[in-house]
Amino acid sequence: MAIQTGVGDQAIRTKKKWPKIVGITAAVLFIILIGAGSWLYMQVVKPLPTIEGEVTLEALDMPVSVWRDEMGVPHIEAENEKDLYIAQGYVTAQDRLFQMDLSRRQASGMLSEVIGEAALDTDKFFRSFGLRRAAEASAELYSDEAKEVLSAYAIGVNAFIREAKEKGALPIEFRILGYEPEEWSETDSLTIGKYMAFDLGGHWEGQAFRYYLAQNFSEDEALELFPSYPDNGALVIEELKAHKLDLTDRFLAAVIPDPFNGSNNWVLSGDKTETGMPILADDPHLGLATPAIWYETHLQSPEQNVTGVIFAGVPGIILGHNENIAWGVTNVGPDVQDLYIERRHAEDAYLFEYMGEWEEATVYDELIKVKDEEDVHYEVVETRHGPIISEFAHDDDDEYALALRWTAHLPSPELEAVLKFNKATDWDSFSEALESFHTPAQNFVFADVNGTIAYRANGLIPIRSKGDSLIPVPGWTGEYEWEGFIPWEELPTVVNPEHGFIATANNKIVNDDYPYHITHTWAQPFRQQRIYDVLGSGDTFTTEDMKQLQNDIHNLQAEEMLPILLNSVEDSAELRDEDQQALKLLREWDFKDHKDLGAPLIFHLWMQQISDELFKDRIDESMMELFDNRAGAVDELIRRADRGEKSEWIEAQGGIDQLLLTSLQATTDRIVELQGRDANDWNWGEFHSVAFAHPLSSVAPLHLLFNSEPTPMSGSRVTVMAASWNAETGNVTNGAGWRGVMDLSDLSRSEHVVGPGQSGHVRSPWYHNQIKDWTQAGYHKTLLNPEEYQTESKHLTLTP
């Protein structure tokens, strides 16, 4: 009993102490949480830029006014050009410094220094591609005026970097990664420009993929997946088989531009508009992320008054309008990259054969700094045709290697052109500026206040002595060299067409009788056809109509393909209840890719599954990302089958009927797993949504800090409102990060939207504030007249 009493007393004493211990622990945890919360709050709030009052910038000659409007768009007013670009550099860095630093690091192959060994292969890839070397070589081409602009911009960026370091107010991303940004240089801006040429591609990966096809599949199977049937197809395959280089796993770490990078643009003459003056619309399709690729800015000085968007880290305005003209672009997508099969000397890895002689390659010793690891010395080997890119992730020196020749490796002065665009007053002055814009080749549309509308496919497009960039070619024979470029005056050009409009959507831009080769690989035709259908309807249009067209979700691919798909499966005895439900929704569909409908979900996942069934277990997964124009190839295989033509790929799946049934059932199984058995609950937007992922959000739980909540999205890859998605997750990753509509009857006001917003600071009111507009066809006006935009704007004076 005594023992029991003792235990009981201890229990009583413990019970009396427990509330006290709990209270103390809770208090400590509360203090820790408050402290951690306060620390985190300071980390994300302290870096917010100063947008009111005065800031001293010693490099300025005169005060500069910066007005930020309700959307966070800076309106920069300067008394001279030097001060204007110093201010642009400073202001852009205020909002986007981490993005700018990450962009220059990726393009330069310097991510390992701050991320670690995980980025080493990516750095090797970009060191091989040589974007920074190309940027350095380009600097000498620039005029003194352009060099002064680059210098002034860098001065502004560096003024902000020093200020942020001194105040301990660098963006939180730098604190998370544990480093501080180095000074900005003129080369950094040019390197970002070269990266955009890389991101808009030139089809090297398609050539590598076709080489792989020739090595691993029958002649018929390989040629079916070529974008066009080559002359002497059997001979082409035979020649490719003769030079054996195993590309499997070679490019696993390669950064391949999104195959759905593209754009829409169009311009209407006054005959097609209610105001009697032109309207121009542009919406480039690139990666969707936080922050946006595009940064909207208004620049005003005695020499210019221009507004639009630019890549953070580059001075000027690349797309937009001034008081006299408006312009926009889409990607031409020409064949400006050629892979050469180089033959290496058996005893000397730096010697390559050329026309019976052995030539010594240029070797660059690239020092790659790696966080928490030893520095890595990496050799880039460059032949007369360009850098070897087939060995960046391999140390072995094969008898054959692939070298890349690319127009963007040549010195080129694109920024010179951009600065001239900003001050152009008519088509003559704008087209003169185009002569300096070499890469990436772009479809420029133009309008001016005189009523002129115009178009040019502008950029360097090679003329080849032999071959047409369909496949890799022998580099040692001398037969496949570039002889020059399509003469500038012979590039496709249209001025004031009779039908009253010009539109492009990465579509084929020339007739078959055009004397020069541009490319084999054009985008699927559905966006372009929809734009033509609307603009060619005979109506007159307003800016509201143009905004609606930019957000149009009519799916012409479904209109073409769905009758073929339904005809093949709807009488099958093997259809299950969920398959019948899916077919019913498809039959009732109006071909609108609306987020609240189930039919778009079924159609797009079915098309994806068809593609997967055709190639899974046959094409090595490591090569699939190199499959250039895969979507177009699948479309064409379905068309051939519908015409009764034999397809080796479809026959391998049991014929078209079996392929479509198998893929339909796999699709409905997947949808049931995702959204349940009741087809009334199926909807596109639950799968197809956008979160504007931040670069650091892949590391949990940082996505909770940086990313928006997923927003359901209408549209798709083939609608005018482009919204491409990750096939596994449904996350929308590519689309029109900026949309602009410009009315030449009143260029003092233009209408824009930048998804997800202007600022890169997570606590800024302009961080994700445009997501609703971006997903729901909303726009804001960006004004040129000070008396309009200064009202209720935040005003910052930059003083010398």
Sign of CA dihedral 586, 588, 589, 590: positive
Q: Which of these is catalytic: 108, 112, 128, 263?
A: 263
- Tokens describing residue 741: 């509509």
Which residues are registered as beta bridge partners of 690? Answer: 711
Structure tokens belonging to residue 99: 């993005």
Please, which residues bridge with residue 382 across strands? 362, 387
DSSP string, 699-758: STTHHHHHSPPPEE---BSSSSSBEEE-TTT-BEEEEESEEEEEETT-TTEEEEEESS-S
**Half-sphere exposure of 474 toward its Cβ, with a 13 Å CA cutoff?**
16
Q: Which two tokens stand for residue 40?
A: 């985190």
Is the Cβ–Cβ distance between 146 and 122 less than 8 Å?
A: no
CB 747 within 8 A of CB 576: no
Instruction: State the burial class of residue 87 (Cβ atoms within 10 Å of its Cβ: 0-12, 13-18, 19+).
Output: buried
- Asked if 274 and 540 touch (Cβ cutoff 8 Å), the reply is yes
Residue set of the binding site for Ca(2+): 335, 338
Find, among 207, 212, 203, 206, the residue nearest to 247 by Cα: 212
Q: Report how far residue 689's alpha carbon sits from residue 713's, in angstroms, rounded to the nearest whole number.
A: 5
Q: Is 390 a catalytic residue?
A: no
* Inter-axis angle of helices 556-569 and 577-587, nearest 10: 140
Q: What is the DSSP string of 459-472?
A: S--EEESS--SSS-
The residue among 200, 202, 201, 196 whose CA lies nearest residue 135 is 196
Give, as one character, the DSSP assignment of residue 388. Answer: B
Question: Which residues have C-beta within 8 Å of that of residue 479, sequence separation ≥ 6?
Answer: 465, 466, 467, 473
Cβ(269)–Cβ(455) under 8 Å?
Answer: no
**Residue 560: which residues within 8 A CB-CB, separation 6 or more?**
none
Listing DSSP states for 193-222 in one string gives: HHHHHHHT--SHHHHHHHHHHHHHS-HHHH
Contact 213, 628 (CB under 8 A): no
In angstroms, how far is CA 583 from the centroid of its own chain? 35
| CB distance 676 to 272 below 8 Å | no
Which active-site residues does the annotation give?
263
